[in-house]
Structure 1
Amino acid sequence: MLSLLIVDDEPTIVDTLASTIDWKRIEIMTVHKAYSAREALDILADYAVDIVIVDINMPRMSGIELVAQIYRQYCHVKSVLLSGHAEFAYAQQAMSYGVSDYLLKPISDEDLIKVIAGLVKEIKEEWQEIVSRRRVVQTLKESLPALKDKLLNELLTGRIKDDALSPLLDMYDLPFQEGESVCIMVIRMEESLPEFNEQDFFLLEYAIMNIAAEMFRSSYDHWSCKDSNGCLVLMIRRKSGQEHESVSAEDRKKFDALAMQLQRNIGLYLKRVVSMIISRWGSFPEEVGLLYSGIIDHMRSKLANESGCFFSGELSDAAAVRQPLQRLYETPTLQHLLEHRRWDEYEDKLQAAIQDMKQAGNLPEEYVREAFMMVAGSFYYYAHKHHCLLSDLVGGTGLLDRNVHSVQQLSELGLYLLNKLRASDQAEQRSSKDKLMLKIREYIDRNLRTASLQTIADAVYLHPVYLSRLYKAETGEGISDYVHKQRMLRAAELLRDPSLKIYEISEDLGFKNAAYFSKVFREEFGITPNEYREQL
């Protein structure tokens, strides 16, 4: 069900429209009322509003200015302008601000209901289009390259199960089938190209993949991604008709020749040196992870000083063993997780790496020391980025100076230090929010006459929408509710002074006029200001 906001500086008009029309009949379940543009913006920041009816002629901020701001900040909101004959041409200009309709005063209830009912229908149709199958399919097509890249990375690193893979292959229109022969090709660029930015590298990688696609088109299908090591990875299958046949020595020789030609063309046309490593042919999908990890381990252990090399076929058994710390080098890195305060993901990554080490068997102590250096390094990085000493955050240098010799020691000490950092961060966050809430309330108390969501946001250097949501989450009440409550409390206090006139108190608290002040006061306390003063 939808919500409506009525804005007019004449309270009687707003109240009449809100109370006399059966809005529920046209599926408007909530009607908000505002008596100024500023009050309307406060409501828009605090509540989900679908349609706004705005009077064009209001003081301080006109209806045109209000719908212009709504158009910029809340593009989904439909606006309807109410204008007199004198402002009719002026109202027509508002169409550039996304105004859905404009109506001449006085307007009958039937005409207004007809316009709003039309907007309700329009909004429902827009949302129906958003969730329609056609829109979903179009979105999927636009996202397909990124989805394919992500899925292949998960397959290469063993993060997806076979039963979850099959439906995704069909959805992404990937021609790979269970049991057919595939090989893995990894392309590593050897030049650092310091003058290149991220966009330059993206275009270069795109050009490489275009050359590969053109060369493999006639005989092979391929599925590509960029892995966590910055390499381009292609999984290759033969075209339909021979995919389930065994790969002969002649077949391998032909493919290797084509791959060598690809390496040559990259150098010839793009002027770039690349190394290329091709696995043996194996069964899809169960051997894919082993084929890939064999190549990566081979590169790490034997190709650090090589450039422009080409390897193909069976790699040594030693190279095909997955390294126990590989998970720690995969993205997102430990530093990245701490930098973004993703504490649970950091703990999961560390626990998984520890489990890998426990399952490795005959693990040299060097691996434990390497892992602890990575973990401790990420902690130092986090502390220094926040202008702190790690020893201060974890309670001294004694823990940091300990020698770690076993996986169990690594597990206990690493998780203990992680929890120390997490507790310190949570305490800092809590303290910062408490200080912010106090600063907001102090500003409101000092500026009750002019306090609004916008002025408060400006005072604490936050966006109004974010401020409204944060305040509601921290205190359980809307910021406009707090301002209203403080104004009423202040009004009750000022009424104790008989020398102050009602209109003086009204002006002092920022109300438009004494009549509106009396109306709001009565809604709050059940009696008028004069009756309240008489009771005192």
Structure 2
Amino acid sequence: MLSLLIVDDEPTIVDTLAFTIDWEKLEIMTVYKAYSAKEALSILSEHAVDIVIADINMPRMTGIELVAQIYKQYRHVKSVLLSGYAEFAYAKQAIHYGVSDYLLKPLSDDDLIALIRKLVQQIKEEWEEVVSRRRVVHTLKESLPVLRDKLLNELLMNRVKEEEDFLHLLELYDLPFRFDDDICVMVIRMEESLPEFNDRDFFLLEYAVINIAVEMLGDSYDLWSCKDANDCLVLLVRKKSGRDEDGTGEEHKKFDALAMQLQRNIGLYLKRVVSIIVSKWGRFPGDVNVLYSYMTEQIRSRLANESGCFLSGELSEDAFVQQPLHRMYETPTLHHLLENRRWDEYRDKLETVIQDMKQAGSLSSEHVQEAYTLVAGSFYFYAHKHNRLLSDLVGGTSVLGRTVHSVQQLSEWAHYMLDKIQNSDQAEQRSSKDKLTLKIREYIDRNLSTASLQTIADAVYLHPVYLSRLYKDKTGEGVSEYIHKQRMVKAAEMLKDDSLKIYEISEQLGFKNAAYFSKVFREEFGMTPNEYREQL
């Protein structure tokens, strides 16, 4: 939905345009009003406006001077000038200021509606151009480092699902890795906390490390880097010359020697201590997650109290055995998923852990209890973060102390609890919307003379567009429709009091003049206010 600003030093014209046109049908959600060019510029500085309709003949600052300022400061805004016959030639000068069109006074509703429809379509087409292939390709090039980082992290966590989609992304991101390539994984861990460093300093340091790696290894190897959840640099390495077919492992030994030299150069040129861990060699992409998991396990078990170490990939095979709950600790955690109401992702992660446990070669009852404790902890965390008791969310305390002995019992209990919590959250969301709708209506009833979408939004601390959409979804009518309906109901009630003049009723209901009030009243009831009063 778009927004429109009407500018004219004659309030009657502004108010008539604002209230007699069904703007929502034209996809105009918000209509701002200004009675001078200065007021219009103030509104433009505070609100997002898409279309401006301005009279050309205004005191102090003319419409042409206004659109010149708009063209200078707000190039995206569409400007329309209103002019009389005598001013039309003068108005054409404004073509230099990007004026979209002109309308002659006296203004026809049909002409205005046709023009607004045309401008709305133009704005849509311009936004479509923004997301067109040319812009997407340009944006993609700028975003490649972030996109590559994200994709490699997904690969490390074994979250790449569809092979065809993955191949497409490799090509789109200009990555030379192909299925069945000979690869290994290198992890570089910074060993110094560097408390005086800020985020930018760390970024530049990591950038320098990657540059040194590319300089040393780039002739013989393709590198794909990312920063993992443990704040380590991870490099996926691919041999450019193909596989080590002779079986001697000499090429792999040469790479280990280069990796050791990389560690020395980082210390020599950057004056920083790092640990480097190089995995065994495997095949892309199937072995990436296994190799990476093996290395993170080595870091946890062997480098907890060590720094500046170098570990080669040629270690025993038993290190490849993963713990059945390792995915439980991977990011995003269960706490994080619940905190952000990512219900489906929570279920997927839970199901993945359950399947890992079912397929584990040896699973003790302690593993089941560990998983139960972690899942239950995430539920308690969510409840208490929202100032609720978990027993209130799930309908009692009996289910909280449930004894879980098997993976199947854990699965059934966890899904039952999650369904209860999600249903409770959705009910609370519906209740919040009901309360907000009541609050909006109470505000309108108390402030009939001044109520507008913007004033209501300010009163309830919501964006006007979001408020309008939420209210219409809940009630089936627009905010402006409700305001209009309540004003007409109040007008009919006030007309019963003979002591009130028509213009007094008009002013009390927020209409700028009695003539416009009479026009709107007649459209609603089929008779003028005086005729209605006489009938009573």
Residues 43-63 of structure 1 deviation map (CA, whole Å, 9 limit, x = unaligned): 69x9744999x99xx54xx34
Residues 182-201 of structure 1 deviation map (CA, whole Å, 9 limit, x = unaligned): 11111223444555554443
| Residue of structure 2 in register with 1:22 after alignment | none
Deviation at 1:268? 3.4
- AA partner of residue 412 (structure 1): E
| Residue of structure 2 in register with 1:359 after alignment | 359
Distance in 2 between residues matched to 1:336 and 1:292, nearest whole Å: 23
Distance in 2 between residues matched to 1:414 and 1:193, nearest whole Å: 42
Distance in 1 between residues matched to 2:432 and 2:128, nearest whole Å: 42
| Alpha carbons 2:181, 2:242 under 8 Å: kept | no
| Percent of aligned positions that are identical | 64
Matched residue SS, 1:276:
strand
Residues 419-462 of structure 1 deviation map (CA, whole Å, 9 limit, x = unaligned): 23223322322222222221221111111111122222222233
1:65 to 2:39 alignment: yes
Deviation at 1:370? 1.4
1:342 to 2:342 alignment: yes
Residues 215-238 of structure 1 deviation map (CA, whole Å, 9 limit, x = unaligned): 222222101112233322111112
Residues 318, 404 of structure 1: alpha-carbon distance in 2 compared, 3 angstrom cutoff: farther
| Residue of structure 2 in register with 1:20 after alignment | none
1:74 to 2:48 alignment: yes
Distance in 2 between residues matched to 1:423 and 1:193, nearest whole Å: 46
Matched residue SS, 2:236:
strand
| Alpha carbons 2:30, 2:453 under 8 Å: kept | no
| Alpha carbons 1:298, 1:320 under 8 Å: kept | no
| Residue of structure 2 in register with 1:115 after alignment | 101
Deviation at 1:395? 4.1
1:34 to 2:18 alignment: yes
| Residue of structure 2 in register with 1:507 after alignment | 507
Distance in 2 between residues matched to 1:51 and 1:510, nearest whole Å: 18
| Residue of structure 2 in register with 1:105 after alignment | 83
| Alpha carbons 2:324, 2:360 under 8 Å: kept | yes
- AA partner of residue 34 (structure 1): A
Distance in 2 between residues matched to 1:166 and 1:237, nearest whole Å: 16
Residues 384, 153 of structure 1: alpha-carbon distance in 2 compared, 3 angstrom cutoff: same
Deviation at 1:491? 0.7
| Alpha carbons 2:181, 2:284 under 8 Å: kept | yes
Distance in 2 between residues matched to 1:313 and 1:189, nearest whole Å: 19
1:176 to 2:177 alignment: yes
After superposition, residues 359-438 of structure 1 pair within 5 angstroms as 359-438=359-438
After superposition, residues 15-30 of structure 1 pair within 5 angstroms as none
Distance in 2 between residues matched to 1:383 and 1:200, nearest whole Å: 38
TM-score w.r.t. structure 1 length? 0.84
- AA partner of residue 105 (structure 1): S
Matched residue SS, 1:319:
helix
| Alpha carbons 2:325, 2:367 under 8 Å: kept | yes
Distance in 1 between residues matched to 2:253 and 2:391, nearest whole Å: 59
- AA partner of residue 65 (structure 1): E
Root mean square deviation, CA, Å: 3.5
Matched residue SS, 2:207:
helix
Deviation at 1:299? 2.7
Matched residue SS, 1:237:
strand
Distance in 2 between residues matched to 1:486 and 1:13, nearest whole Å: 23
Distance in 2 between residues matched to 1:73 and 1:248, nearest whole Å: 70
Matched residue SS, 1:183:
strand
| Alpha carbons 1:158, 1:289 under 8 Å: kept | yes
Matched residue SS, 1:399:
coil
Moved more, 526-535 or 196-205: 196-205
| Residue of structure 2 in register with 1:231 after alignment | 232
Moved more, 480-489 or 315-324: 315-324
Unmatched tracts of structure 1, length 5 or more = 17-32
Deviation at 1:96? 3.9
Distance in 2 between residues matched to 1:397 and 1:300, nearest whole Å: 38
Distance in 1 between residues matched to 2:401 and 2:201, nearest whole Å: 44
Moved more, 146-155 or 109-118: 109-118
1:133 to 2:133 alignment: yes
Residues 53-111 of structure 1 deviation map (CA, whole Å, 9 limit, x = unaligned): x99xx54xx34433553465326x24353221743375344544436557473158897
Moved more, 165-174 or 120-129: 120-129
Moved more, 120-129 or 445-454: 120-129
- AA partner of residue 230 (structure 1): D
Residues 267, 248 of structure 1: alpha-carbon distance in 2 compared, 3 angstrom cutoff: same
| Residue of structure 1 in register with 2:317 after alignment | 317
Unmatched tracts of structure 2, length 5 or more = 93-98, 103-114
Distance in 1 between residues matched to 2:442 and 2:191, nearest whole Å: 59
Residues 225, 392 of structure 1: alpha-carbon distance in 2 compared, 3 angstrom cutoff: same
Distance in 2 between residues matched to 1:531 and 1:105, nearest whole Å: 36
Residues 457, 380 of structure 1: alpha-carbon distance in 2 compared, 3 angstrom cutoff: same
Deviation at 1:320? 0.9
Distance in 1 between residues matched to 2:425 and 2:26, nearest whole Å: 31
Distance in 1 between residues matched to 2:339 and 2:223, nearest whole Å: 36
Matched residue SS, 2:381:
helix
Residues 309, 3 of structure 1: alpha-carbon distance in 2 compared, 3 angstrom cutoff: closer
Deviation at 1:350? 1.0
| Alpha carbons 1:7, 1:34 under 8 Å: kept | no
Deviation at 1:289? 2.4
TM-score w.r.t. structure 2 length? 0.84
Deviation at 1:510? 0.8
| Alpha carbons 1:457, 1:464 under 8 Å: kept | yes
After superposition, residues 216-295 of structure 1 pair within 5 angstroms as 216-239=217-240, 241-242=241-242, 245=245, 248-295=248-295
Moved more, 294-303 or 251-260: 294-303
- AA partner of residue 327 (structure 1): R
Residues 406, 80 of structure 1: alpha-carbon distance in 2 compared, 3 angstrom cutoff: same
Matched residue SS, 2:252:
helix
| Residue of structure 2 in register with 1:27 after alignment | none
- AA partner of residue 225 (structure 2): S
